């Protein structure tokens, strides 16, 4: 079930994932000189090399080499990016979902269902509610302002006669 534990430089399954130019991979070659094949991304290669250089992790290295292969995706690819839709709403939070769907259809040329837009917005943290309008100042601050505004121009003598309780 498991392959025998060998370092990356001696592991044949890992060598197949790299191009022939990278035969020095286990010997500490720079990441820039190693070219990943179609099935390996640069970040995966970098992590694999860092793991390979760490002492005492042979079993982990072999398991990681198996995971390096690019896996085929399942399911239908998305028509639009979820992040792009959320970004549009962040610019204009008061836009409705039908208007947003129309804008996306005209901009991208792809028809998007209204429920798809709503589902993406819900997952992005935008719900179908309008925030209530709150006053800029509290009730107590408003009362103090109502009292103070007619008394702004009063002189010092007036305030000496006023009784503050």
The tens digit of pLDDT for each residue in 39-61 reads 667 777 777 777 766 666 555 55
84, 116 Cβ separation under 8 angstroms: no
Q: Report which of residues 66 and 133 the model is more confident about.
A: 133
Interatomic CA distance for residues 48 and 68, integer angstroms: 8
36 bridge partner residues = 18
Mean pLDDT of the chain: 73
The pLDDT, as a whole number, for residue 1 is: 45
Q: How many other C-beta atoms can be found within 10 angstroms of the C-beta atom of residue 62? A: 19
Q: Tens digits of per-residue pLDDT, 82-96?
A: 898 899 988 888 888
Please write down the long-range contacts of 126-130, taking CB distance under 8 Å and 24 or more positions apart: 126/86, 126/89, 126/93, 128/97, 130/94
- Return the SS3 of 18: strand
Euclidean distance between CA atoms 113 and 98, whole angstroms: 9
**pTM confidence score:** 0.39
Using CB atoms within 10 Å of the CB of residue 1, give its burial: 0 to 12 exposed, 13 to 18 middle, 19+ buried.
Answer: exposed
Across 14-23, 88-97, 125-134, the highest mean pLDDT is recorded for 88-97
Q: Helix, strand, or coil here: 128? A: coil
147 or 162: which leads in pLDDT: 147
In this prediction, residue 144 carries a pLDDT of 92
Residue from 41, 50, 1 nearest 17 by CA: 41
CB 95 within 8 A of CB 66: no
């Amino acid at each position: 079930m498991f392959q025998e534990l060998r370092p990356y430089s001696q592991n044949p399954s890992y060598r197949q994932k790299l191009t022939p130019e990278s035969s020095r991979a286990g010997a500490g070659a720079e990441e820039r000189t190693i070219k990943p094949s179609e099935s390996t991304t640069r970040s995966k290669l970098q992590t694999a090399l860092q793991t390979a250089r760490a002492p005492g992790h042979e079993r982990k290295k072999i398991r990681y080499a198996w995971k390096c292969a690019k896996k085929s995706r399942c399911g239908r690819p998305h028509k639009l990016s979820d992040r792009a839709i959320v970004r549009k709403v962040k610019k204009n939070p008061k836009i409705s979902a039908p208007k947003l769907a129309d804008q996306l259809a005209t901009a991208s040329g792809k028809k998007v269902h209204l429920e798809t837009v709503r589902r993406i917005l819900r997952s992005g943290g935008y719900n179908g509610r309008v925030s209530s309008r709150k006053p800029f100042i509290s009730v107590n601050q408003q009362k103090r302002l109502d009292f103070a505004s007619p008394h702004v121009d009063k002189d010092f003598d007036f305030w000496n006669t006023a009784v503050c309780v």
